[in-house]
Amino acid sequence: MNADARPGLRPIDSAVGSARAMASVFARDVRVAFRQRQDLLNPLLFFVMVVTLFPLGVSPEVAFLKQSGAGILWVAALLSVLLSLDHLFRHDFDDGTLEQLVLQPQPLFLLVLAKTVAHWVLTGLPLVLLAPVLGLMVHLDGNSIAILCLTLLIGTPVLSLIGAIGAALTLGLRSAGVLLSLLIIPLYIPVLIFGTGTVAAAAEGAPVAGYVALMGAFLVLALTLAPFAAAAALRISLSNS
């Protein structure tokens, strides 16, 4: 009998290639997320609400908001990503899919990377798209908004990647949410500093190419190192439960 007669069966030694595995993990995550659309909206609502707190709690004056707006938006975006990290691995952990993922023949770090990219597309990217609207609310000028969106575009993937490490480390633990924040916020600080610093430099008219390149370097560093750390952390957490 040749393989054509039984189309459903494949020989065991033709395992799915890594790229296809990553694509299917990515597609699955996006599909599952769209079935629970509320999970997608929550970080965005949170983003808007946190930004709103600052004019309410501090001062709605144009001068203050112009000066602090970029920082406020960056901090709010950071907190929104932090909030959304919980369901990067949690749902799969709860229903056993994560264990299956770890057992796949493809390298785990690539699958983790695919999941993290899906997470960014579902969380970080919408934040970047929403940022111009909020930028107008804090009276930022057009140039600042553009640079701000650029820094968010480069920075939010870094936040997702580093956050994946924290999410993997705290998987299944009691009070995982708070613990995750405690672990990850120190690691977020450089990204925050450069993200807002770039916008501040742009506001003063200084050339920003260097700072953007540096943020790009953060992204490359995170892309290459974070999935390994997250994969290692996943194996540890799964062996623990």
Partner 1 sequence: MWQFFHKLGSPKWFYGIANRFMPWFLWGGLILLGAGLVWGLAFAPKDYLQGNSYRIIFIHVPAAFLAQSVYLMMASAALVTLVWRMKLADVFVKAIAPVGLILTFLSLFTGAVWGKPTWGTWWVWDARLTSMLILLFLYGGVIALDKAINDEKSAARAVAVLVLVGVVNIPIIKYSVDWWNTLHQPATFKLTEKPSMPMEMWVPLLLSVLGLYLLFGWLACIRMKTEILTRERRTRWVRELVLAGRK
Q: Which residues of this chain interact with partner 1, rule CB under 8 A?
A: 165, 169-170, 173-175, 179, 182-183, 185-187, 189-190, 193-194, 197, 200-201, 218, 225, 229, 232-233, 236-237, 239-240
Looking at the Cβ atoms of 19 and 193, the one nearer to partner 1 is 193
Evaluate whether 78 touches 156 at the Cβ level (below 8 Å).
Answer: no
Looking at the Cβ atoms of 112 and 229, the one nearer to partner 1 is 229
Minimum gap (Å) between residue 222 Cβ and partner 1: 10
Looking at the Cβ atoms of 25 and 165, the one nearer to partner 1 is 165
- For the chain, the residue count is 241
Minimum gap (Å) between residue 15 Cβ and partner 1: 28
Which phi and psi (to 5°) does residue 16 adopt? -65, 140
CA separation for the pair 211, 148 (Å, rounded)? 12
Nearest by Cα to 81 from 158, 29, 10, 169: 158
Scanning 85-124, the segments in alpha helix (DSSP H) are: 86-95, 97-103, 108-119
CA separation for the pair 69, 59 (Å, rounded)? 11
Minimum gap (Å) between residue 216 Cβ and partner 1: 14
Minimum gap (Å) between residue 72 Cβ and partner 1: 16
Minimum gap (Å) between residue 147 Cβ and partner 1: 15
Which tokens in the block code for residue 181?
A: 């924040």
Nearest by Cα to 194 from 227, 142, 158, 145: 158
Looking at the Cβ atoms of 123 and 170, the one nearer to partner 1 is 170
Looking at the Cβ atoms of 51 and 165, the one nearer to partner 1 is 165
